[in-house]
């Protein structure tokens, strides 16, 4: 019940602030007026939100916490009973997919709070301080995604730029499609969002597989040439210890 009340309180404060800013102007609206409209004291307002910029994005404070908890629940140490095995690529718990699910949660929040999202978007166009605050909020999501991937991907990948690149890509795609929706909220852009996320995952997963093969000494190169009677001959060069599936993949790639 406490979480529900806190959520409702934040939502009330966000709506009150946005309504006052839209009606009176950002600079002309005082903290006291926002606190009165949100039915909290001035002291409570500053304890919760610190500034006028913060209150406009107060709902995202709770949403970011939800995202972090959601991601943490799928980490290997959360899924294991304590005897943590070596981290491995588990298709049943795909870290890239989990990040996309978290970003989808953020998108659904915007769509579900349609009037608030549209009013906030309008304010961002005319108040530079709020645009700066939005960038801070966006960066916090990106950092949460990056930290999760670094903690969850196989150890040979956790120290590379892949976690940063994928997180930045997810946030960029999310924001681009969200802006399209804000310009035309009648559109259903969820299929576009999901397809874009799927494309990001395909690229990241393919890169992970290639790098793991290199790390295990299974790198290979195959070429085709013409044989007798027009037959195609595949010549494969493989590192010692290459697995059969690596050989088969090299041949398939050459024939393709």
The domains spanning 1-52 and 57-215 adopt the same CATH topology: no
Which H/E stretch holds residue 222?
strand 220-226
- Token pair in block for residue 55: 């209150």
Pick the CATH number of 57-215 from 1.10.357.10, 1.10.10.60, 3.30.1600.10, 3.90.330.10: 1.10.357.10
Domain boundaries, the chain: 1-52, 57-215, 220-255
Highest mean pLDDT among 69-73, 81-85, 86-90: 69-73
For the stretch 185-242, pLDDT in tens is 999 999 999 999 999 998 887 766 665 555 555 444 445 454 445 556 656 555 556 6
Is the C-alpha dihedral spanning 140, 115, 105, 5 positive or negative? positive
For the stretch 163-184, pLDDT in tens is 899 999 999 999 999 999 999 9
Q: Which CATH class is domain 1-52?
A: mainly alpha
CB neighbourhood size of 158 (10 A): 14
The Cα-based distances of 36 to 16, 30, 32, 103, 116 in angstroms read: 9, 10, 6, 33, 19
């Amino acid at each position: 019940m406490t979480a529900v009340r806190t959520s409702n309180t934040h939502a009330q404060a966000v709506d009150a602030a946005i309504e006052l800013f839209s009606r009176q102007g950002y600079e002309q609206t005082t903290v006291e007026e926002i606190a009165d409209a949100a039915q909290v004291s001035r002291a409570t307002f500053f304890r919760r939100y610190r500034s006028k910029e913060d209150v406009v994005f107060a709902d995202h404070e709770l949403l970011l916490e939800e995202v972090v908890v959601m991601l943490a629940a799928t980490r290997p140490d959360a899924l294991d009973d304590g005897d943590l095995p070596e981290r491995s690529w588990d298709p049943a718990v795909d870290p890239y997919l989990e990040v996309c699910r978290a970003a989808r949660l953020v998108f659904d929040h915007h769509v579900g709070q349609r009037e608030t999202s549209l009013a906030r978007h309008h304010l961002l166009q005319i108040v530079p301080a709020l645009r700066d605050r939005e960038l801070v909020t966006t960066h916090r999501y990106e950092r949460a995604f990056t930290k999760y991937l670094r903690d969850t991907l196989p150890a040979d990948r956790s120290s590379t730029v892949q976690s940063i690149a994928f997180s930045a890509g997810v946030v960029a795609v999310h924001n681009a499609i969200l802006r399209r929706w804000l310009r035309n909220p009648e559109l259903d852009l969820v299929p576009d969002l999901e397809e874009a996320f799927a494309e990001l995952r395909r690229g990241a997963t393919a890169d992970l597989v290639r790098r793991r093969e290199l790390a295990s000494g299974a790198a290979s190169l195959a070429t085709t040439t013409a044989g007798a009677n027009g037959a195609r001959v595949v010549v494969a060069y493989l590192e010692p210890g290459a697995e059969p599936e690596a050989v088969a993949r090299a041949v398939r790639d050459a024939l393709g």
